[in-house]
Amino acid sequence: MSVERGEQDGGGWRGNEPAPGTQVAGFTLQECLATGSSGSVYRAERGGRRFALKLVPMGIWGEREVDALRRVRHTSVVGLLGYGQWPEDKPRFLVLALEWVDGPPLDVWARENRCTAEQLARQVLRPVVEALGQVHAAGVVHRDVKEANILMRREDGRPVLVDFGSARYEGAPRLTMRLPPGTPEYRSPEIVRFAREWEGERYDAQPADDWWALGVTLYVLLTRTLPFGDRHGPLTRTILEHTPEPPHVRNPRVPQALGELCLRMLEKAPEARYADAQALARAVDEALARADDTWRVPLFAEEPVRPVSEPPRALAAPVPPATSGRSRALLLSLFAALVLPPGPQPLPSEARAITPRTGLPMSLPPHEAGFRQELADTSKTAEVGPRAELLESPPPAPANATHREEEPMRKSHPGRSLIKSTLVSAACVSAGCASAPPPRPRPSPECPPGHQETLKRFGFERRDWNRISMIPLDRIITGDTTITVQEGPYTTAVIASQWQEIPPLTKLYGELFFEGDRVHGYFTRIILHTGESLPVCIRLAAEYDRRGVPMKPGSRPGKAVITALQYVETVSHFAY
């Protein structure tokens, strides 16, 4: 008997996706490794062998990936071992059996191994250039080259290009109305210029787009910064007009020859870059032939200095039970706040002038389990609708209960004022004053009017479950990826896979609140890719026996650490 969606727990269905333990097309699912805009990837086993099993909702996404991978055979390109549809009676997924690549994403590998310039050029860049050349020779453009999509295979230390879900080949069906799928920070000037001048035709991705993205990837690995900032700044203008700071200037450990090679990959005019794989491979070989001892020094010190654009973080020490100990620990942390300068405050978008060199590229946070956290509007990343505008410089999102407006104060010496307020704060804690912010009122338990009509419209007949991502799915997210959230309105969650008739990447709007050691979420609206807003009644439900999401270690008052991938359920009333 076939299992209907949402009816079986444990080893069968959970929401719209099979759970670990499920038999899929002869494979046993062991663990969900990642969920992205084009499907979910599982570690699977069959006949004692490991596989990466990708499940893509039926449609042209998976067929494109199959057709692209069938055209390419290279040791540094993930191998397609087979494909089919599942379940057999009523297929809902295209199943891709892929080569199991045991190894971390490229930037994780570079950090863990304290990579040198020579290693990066010889062991990574040169093989990737060769692999991309083979991909292009087969008539395929990857369209999402970045460090998260290059895994370093532990067995032989070779890089492997993965995730061809966005790939284009001659004759492939179109997926987007305006821009090709991909990551905004890695888009070439040709793509950005096309979007700015768009008049209705579709962009035809070229190999040059992949080479540009590889140049961005190289810059990130050499400097740990994005060369043109991120989508929260004037990204379009910066890509078109800005010349990034040379990698060997930003990071003196980068050999000048490698830094200049990277800059040439990022020239604005395509004809000024390396023409093809052969030209770039020659340049890498020539640079390696002239390499001296400076190429064999780790690109970053063992304990890298935090970039100046990152605000200082106090290290949380174990707090002894005695009041005096708490006061002393707090006083030390408050004193640290006196001597450590705060990070720079964001400027209004109109005040961010373009200068000939990028002075403050966006620093990248540590890459955890193959994912880099980015908060962005997903409707403008993977699938761009016809009415969407390319991101320019959106206003910064308001922080949820993070800053309070200060009362007017008379002028005083800034140092004395800060010291005085710090000591008063410490004394208040020592005396037992309340230090936590007052709890936010719980949102209304009532569902919004019209939510039942929305469920009927999209084919929901009963209470149902599905997986969501609390952050945009323009990068690979694993089950170990964590984020920090706070109470208040929440607008960055997206539905991770097809849910009845609700398409993936549909945005969820709602509110989070804390109770004890759990985070609760009430989502009351969905925003379709067309921009249509509809009422819903959807609740965070990480486990079947308890509601809400458990907080992870590292949570603190007003801030909760949770995993990025969660489950939600449709309900008729928010109250538990």
Residue-range domain boundaries for the chain: 13-99, 106-296, 451-570
56 Cβ partners below 8 Å, 6+ apart?
38, 39, 62, 65, 93, 94, 96, 165
Q: Would you call 535 exposed, middle or buried from its count of C-beta atoms within 10 A (0-12, 13-18, 19+)?
A: middle
179: which 2 tokens?
């821009």
Predicted local confidence at residue 243, as pLDDT = 94
2: which 2 tokens?
């076939």
CA distance 107 to 401: 33
The class of domain 13-99 in CATH terms is alpha beta
Predicted local confidence at residue 358, as pLDDT = 37
Mean pLDDT, the chain cut into blocks of 10 residues (576 residues total): 32 60 94 77 95 84 83 95 89 92 94 96 98 96 95 96 88 54 84 69 86 98 93 83 96 98 97 97 98 97 51 38 38 32 34 33 38 29 27 33 34 40 39 52 88 90 80 70 91 82 88 92 91 92 68 92 88 80
Predicted local confidence at residue 543, as pLDDT = 53
For residue 493, give the H/E element and its range. Answer: strand 488-495
Predicted local confidence at residue 510, as pLDDT = 94
Predicted local confidence at residue 192, as pLDDT = 83
DSSP 378: G
Predicted local confidence at residue 198, as pLDDT = 55
Q: Which of 511, 520, 523, 522 is nearest to 562 (CA)?
A: 520
Determine whether domain 106-296 maps to CATH 1.10.510.10: yes
Q: Which of 448, 424, 417, 472 is nearest to 524 (CA)?
A: 448
Q: Which of 276, 446, 268, 297 is nearest to 356 (CA)?
A: 268
∠ CA 28-31-37, nearest 5°, is 110
Predicted local confidence at residue 356, as pLDDT = 33
Is 144 within 8 Å of 68 (Cβ atoms)?
no
236: which 2 tokens?
């379009």
CA distance 246 to 174: 37
Please tell me the pTM assigned to this model: 0.56
CA distance 370 to 376: 18
Q: Is 499 helix (H, G, I), strand (E, B) or coil?
A: strand
Distances (CA, A) of 11 to 8, 236, 280, 416, 468: 8, 46, 49, 63, 19
Topology (CATH level 3) of domain 451-570: Lipocalin (2.40.128)
Q: Would you call 122 exposed, middle or buried from its count of C-beta atoms within 10 A (0-12, 13-18, 19+)?
A: middle
CA distance 575 to 137: 58
187: which 2 tokens?
């888009």
For residue 35, give the H/E element and its range. Answer: strand 27-36
Q: Distance between alpha carbon 462 and the CA centroid of its chain, in Å?
A: 32
Helix, strand, coil shares of the chain as percentages rounded to 5? Answer: 25, 25, 50
